Structure 1
Amino acid sequence: MATRALVVGGTGGIGYAIACRIAAESKSSTVIISGRNKPQDIQHANIEFRPLDASSMHSIKQYTNAYKSVPPAEKDLDLLVLTQGIFSLAGRTETSEGIDRKMALHYYGRQLLIRELLPVLKDDAKVVIVLDGVRGGPPAKLNWDDLDLKTHYSLGNAANHCISMTDAMVQAYAAQQRGQNAGKRHFIHAYPGVVQTNITNSLPWFLRPVTRALGHLFAVTPDTCAEHMVRGTYECAAAGEKEGRFFSYIDNEGRLVTKKPTWSEEQIRKVEEHTWKVINDAIKASS
């Protein structure tokens, strides 16, 4: 089946493996990969590269505006996959737009890409956010007065806020699919597990050997991870549609995660309002 897919963060690691799997399944598919740097050796002729600084809200807005400006046949998406991220032990490090770089990549930029690309998602499109669909604390553990962690930043808080707010947002997008004239798009928050990638290169030199050794013992290959992510996406979306559910959390083997904290409509609304305020303020500040 021919698929038009966009994989942000698809220039390496898990994202590139997912892009290659989709491209290999059908030569008539088109797969766009986006990130800072073009891979030296793109394995499939039906993969194309478009540059994007996914940590910048202004750059994302420019990118999505350009993407939406072409004819429908050249832009309508079956699949949007968001894998961009960074592994860093540094404290809060703000971008020029005033957002912590880790949170910009892992959360805010991903939400902006979904919002801006919703008009070009087909009615049955799938959106996959690869972060951590298994964990994520209950809403009560969020710092509701400081969701972007301007004053309460720590690596643990940043991870929990990004994961938990992603849980809320997939439910918010899914709620838009209900109704007589709504589509059947499915929004997935996925946990990739431990994967053998070059992300350890960003660690201090003295931690790399141990981390790599542990990775070889316990991690799966990017291709295996991609297989689980793609299969789980389509299986959970099909099952969800039958149940009238348009979001899923999946684990590292692509299985549906059912035991997750409950979010109230009010809590989801607060996350939405916060998210769009931070993003819109960043775009205005950099315009």
Structure 2
Amino acid sequence: MRFSTLTALAAALPFTTAYWKGFNVGANNEDGTCKTTAQWTTAFNKLKTLPQDITSVRLYASSDCNTLALAVPAAISTNTKILVGVWTEDAAHYTAEKNALTAAIDAHGSAWIIAISVGSEDLYRGDTTASALAQQIYDVRGMVGALGVTTQVGHVDTWTAWVNDTNKAVITASDFIGLDSYPYFQNAAIGDAYNTFWDSVTATRNQVNAVSPGKWVWVTETGWPVSGPNYGAAVASVKNAQTYWRSVACATFQSTHVFWYAYQDYSASPSFGVFDESGNAIYDLYGC
């Protein structure tokens, strides 16, 4: 465990202990159907039973599966807050996403919103340019601002995208930086995963501070798969997922905003799901 890394990270953070602790939650059920409001409610209530005081979730989209129309009432009834996702690709989809977000704000106000992520790993995939994505961040900020909503608007991407100098415009445009970091995909053995993760956080924070000092780096995705293929020295297993949770989740929940990946992942390979299709935890979440 690299205490020097943790000490440096803690010193760089604002003086606060009020961190969002959440999970990424998909809009689809195991059979591909869309979650109903009742099913969103079940998921949110399940997370609230964890001892880490999980009161927030990250949702990937606004219009797909009528996500916000169905999830926001569940969030309000369970006192769950949402990091909202707005997909940016293609023009028609982007417009539908903005319309769905506007409709949700019109219907329910904005107290349920933590922040808004415009796009997700677009830079990593090379699906857009930094300048185009920056303009969409400004666009969404202006749209919600016209509705009287002053929430933070940013972007979620991999740490390798954030440290790429060609993407500085997105750092400048963003109020917060959403970091996706997976030591598993970096071929890290589980014994090295803790340091590999924190190295990605530190590298991202250094780049952000060089471009736009003072902006927070949020951990918007991290986790370890319970099943799937090996990546070099990285082995997917329930035991290693448990180890990663005990080391990374328990420390990270105390030092920054975190959205763990993922609530459920069903039959994906690799599968990062923490709860199975019956809603039972796959490994022990009570070790922090």
TM-score normalised according to structure 2 size: 0.34
What is the TM-score normalised by the length of structure 1? Answer: 0.34
